[in-house]
Amino acid sequence: MIRYALACEHDHEFEGWFAASADFDDQQASGLIECPVCASKAVRKQIMAPAVAGTKKKDAPVPSRAMMMEAMGRIRRHVVENFDDVGDSFAKEARAIHEGRAEERGIYGQASPTEVRALVEDGVPVAPLPPEAPKKTELN
């Protein structure tokens, strides 16, 4: 596929995709190309930089597993240190806060998959708490 930057006689800019370079000329001669803004059939190719194969940008480095585990650990520590643990009453308390029946505050706790699904469907903002990092003595 070839992408062309196009413009009409009124300088409306848009792009078109063609299977081959000759397809633009054939479709223009047949009156098949028109401006999506004003429907003008007086459309021309614009100057554009060619896409050259083999000049792909290098992918950004992927964060290491250790760095991701450390970040998740910091998030978990922040929540545990600053939010209220409501235990297995999480779904009931989150809904009460969302509906204004309980004090607005950060909470965490446990909820079943069914309870979480119902909260999400009702627009209650919830997110899973990252798991605790395994203890060094538990690693092999």
For residues 88 and 15, give the distance between their C-alpha atoms in angstroms, rounded to a whole number: 55
Q: 120-138 pLDDT, tens per residue? A: 999 999 999 888 877 777 6
Q: 87-125 pLDDT, tens per residue? A: 999 999 999 999 999 999 999 999 999 999 999 999 999
pTM exceeds 0.75 for this model: no
Q: What's the pLDDT band for 140 if we cut at 50, 70, 90? A: low
Is 55 a residue whose pLDDT tops 60? Answer: no
Alpha carbon 109 to chain centroid distance?
Answer: 27
